[in-house]
């Protein structure tokens, strides 16, 4: 799993695995899901990140596993 934040594009991308992306679908304004050949979600892109979380400090990302 990889997380990439692009400050210039004001976007966050979470890649769940390395399988080939076959299709993408915008499921909500500014939220795009990437699907593999088995119709599984393998990537999530969120655009306009600063508007969704205006107080977000990119240096303070936390990872939590359950």
2: left (phi over 0), alpha (psi -120 to 50) or beta: beta
Distance CA 22, CA 24 (A): 7
Model-level pTM?
Answer: 0.82
Distance CA 44, CA 9 (A): 15
Over the stretch 7-49, which tens digit does the pLDDT of each residue have?
A: 889 899 999 999 999 999 999 999 999 999 999 999 999 999 8
Cβ contact 46:31 at 8 Å: yes
Distance CA 12, CA 27 (A): 15
Helix intervals (H) in the chain: 49-52
């Amino acid at each position: 799993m990889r997380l990439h934040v692009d400050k210039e594009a004001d976007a966050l991308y979470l890649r769940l695995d390395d399988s080939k992306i076959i299709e993408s679908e915008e499921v909500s304004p500014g939220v795009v899901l990437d699907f593999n050949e088995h119709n599984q979600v393998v990537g999530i892109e969120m655009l306009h990140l600063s508007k969704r979380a205006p107080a977000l400090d990119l240096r303070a990302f936390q990872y939590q596993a359950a």
